[in-house]
A = this chain, B = another copy of it.
């Protein structure tokens, strides 16, 4: 049994989630999703923000909740949805689920006793998204390299969620993978998964770099500095998956004429349907943990 769900703002992933929950029997309404919803499911369209907020026991906001300051992220909506208008309508007994709430919005809601859950902060969401991120990185690498990944020497910097899944994929495809990590724990994980491990930073890392056709960075600090970039073969490809400020000294790379690709938010770009399903699974777990709305 699902609570009544109101989707407010969002992109194609929100439409897919809305249809998914409707197909499972939930009462669902949407506001600010102006693309045609398919007829077969029972997603009603709220005529106003007020109607939408009134309808739901649980409100589903997009990822990120606000792309621009003060406005709910609603790229498919003809109208602006001011965040303050939304805030003013939310009732204390409602559950509000969204991704990357602005700090002030979260504070306001919690002061008023509204339960908020940020799915973007959950580890299960991050783990699940590491799969499309890794696959997107593979596709970029296949596109950029004049050689197959099979037989190629690949250096992965960082061995967290994305590093680990990427390493397993690359190894399965026949690449020779070296992982660089800071902690003894992550080095032990890399070795346990059959990957050569080098300490970050170390002389061994510089030697691994000198041998790599491809480097994929997964950590958001300055790992690929000018010294490490200078150690790479002249035709190496560098893919940075780290969120801002990234982990590559792009200016230095440009001077050295090294091909770099900064790939952000891959799941929604390379596998939007999978990305929507991951969101839906996470929302489903939140609803179950919160005991409905």
Contact = CB atoms under 8 A, between A and B. Distances in A.
A264 interface: no
A249 interface: no
Interface string A141-154: 01101111111000
B145 A142 contact: no
Contacts of A272: 146
A127 B271 contact: no
Nearest to A16: B146
Nearest to A289: B184
User: Most chain-B Cβ atoms within 10 A of its Cβ — which of A124, A128, A148?
Assistant: A148
A134 B112 CA distance: 50
B174 A173 contact: no
Interface size class of A (residues with CB under 8 A): 35 or more
Name the residue among A135, A143, A187 with the largest chain B CB count within 10 angstroms: A135
A143 B139 contact: yes
Interface in A117-166: 122-125, 127-128, 130-132, 135-136, 138-139, 142-143, 145-151, 165
A142 B185 CA distance: 26
A135 B131 CA distance: 18
B147 A274 contact: yes
Nearest to A176: B194
A177 to B, nearest CB: 11
A193 B270 CA distance: 19
B168 A123 contact: no
A47 B240 CA distance: 47
Contact of A139 (B130, B142, B183): B142
A169 interface: yes
B271 A124 contact: no
Interface in A172-189: 172-174, 183-185, 187-189
A192 interface: yes
A129 to B, nearest CB: 9
A106 interface: no
The list of the 8 closest CB pairs from A to B, nearest first, reads A172-B172, A124-B188, A174-B194, A127-B188, A124-B184, A139-B142, A146-B273, A123-B185
Given A132-B148, A146-B272, 8 more contacts: A124-B183, A124-B188, A128-B192, A135-B150, A142-B270, A168-B193, A172-B172, A172-B173
